[in-house]
Structure 1
Amino acid sequence: MIEERGRVVALDESGIWVETVQRSGCHSCAAKSGCGTGLLGDFWTKASQVRVSVAPETLRRIQLHDTAVIGIAENTLASGALLVYLAPLVTLVLGALAGQALGGVSGGELWAILGALGGFLLGAVCVRLYSHLQRNNPAMAPQFLRLEQGKPCVIPVTPLP
């Protein structure tokens, strides 16, 4: 199970909304203070909110600004990442090959470029369709694992304008 800590920003009748900060992988590197990639990762860090279902008996103990630990199965993350990255790439290459074959000897490069673009867009549409079909799949949703007591959440609370 891959875990992520976040701050509880809202409660509803059957779950919580957790705000997590998306960081680059550079935060675990020993050279992060002298690395430009780590600095850029800090610059582009952004917060996202996700809804997580919680059992009613546990929901009664949760309060706003608590630190919640949520998780997702490793195989779910790996298969999702494989689909998101590999499907557009494979369809791009297949589209380029099909375009080159359609273009023949003269003008094959332009057709290959157009085929690659079309293949990439087809792959992106397939990923979007798969995502839409899996939206209610409980295996794809993050799970509430536990509350961390006594540890303040390190995600800064931003005041509303």
Structure 2
Amino acid sequence: MLEERGRIVAIESNAVWVETIQRSACNGCETKSACGTGLLGDFFSSSTRVRVTLNGFPADKISLNDIAVIGIAENALSSSALLVYLVPLVSLVLVALLGDYLFAEIGAVLGALVGLVAGACGVCWYSRRQSSNSIYTPILLRIEPGSGHS
């Protein structure tokens, strides 16, 4: 199970909204302060809000700004990453080869573009179909008191 910590920004009756900060791998590096890549990573870091069901946690025991530890299965993340990167790439190459076979060089270029777009659309279609699949939804693992408690 891969874990991520985030700050609770909203509380519903059966779910919480968790804001996570996406950072580069440089945050764990000891030479981060002396490295330009680490500074750029801090500059371009962004936050994401995720809705997470409570899974039996009592909503009245949770406060705003508490730290929520959410998790997702490793196989779900790795299979999703393979799908997102591999399907458009494979479709790009296959349709480019088909275009080259049928229409020479211009067919390869147009086929590559068509294959890339078709692969990306296929990934979007698949992800919409899997949006209700519980394997791909993060789960609430535990709550760590944050600045919301005195």
Same fold (TM over 0.5): yes
Match in the other structure for 1:156 = none
Shift of 1:95: 1.3
Match in the other structure for 2:45 = 45
Classify the secondary structure of the residue corresponding to 1:125: helix
Match in the other structure for 1:148 = 144
Taking the aligned partners of 2:57 and 2:80, their CA distance within structure 1 comes to 31
RMSD across aligned positions (CA)? 1.5
Classify the secondary structure of the residue corresponding to 2:64: coil
Taking the aligned partners of 2:114 and 2:48, their CA distance within structure 1 comes to 31
Please list every run of at least 4 consecutive aligned residues from structure 1 whose deviation after the TM superposition is greater than 6 angstroms: none
Taking the aligned partners of 1:40 and 1:83, their CA distance within structure 2 comes to 28
Shift of 1:27: 1.1
How do residues 12-91 of structure 1 correspond to structure 2 at under 5 angstroms? Answer: 12-91=12-91
Taking the aligned partners of 2:22 and 2:76, their CA distance within structure 1 comes to 18
C-alpha contact 2:55 2:139 (8 A) present in aligned 1? no
Classify the secondary structure of the residue corresponding to 2:61: coil
Shift of 1:55: 3.1
Unmatched 5+ stretches in structure 2: none
Shift of 1:116: 0.4
Classify the secondary structure of the residue corresponding to 2:58: helix
Percent identical pairs in the alignment equals 53
Shift of 1:70: 0.5
Shift of 1:56: 4.4
Unmatched 5+ stretches in structure 1: 154-161
Match in the other structure for 2:4 = 4
Match in the other structure for 1:121 = 117
For normalisation by structure 1, the TM-score amounts to: 0.87
Q: C-alpha deviations, 1:40-76, integer Å up to 9, x for none?
A: 1111111110000003443221111111110101001
Match in the other structure for 2:101 = 101
Q: C-alpha deviations, 1:98-119, integer Å up to 9, x for none?
A: 110111xxxx222111000000
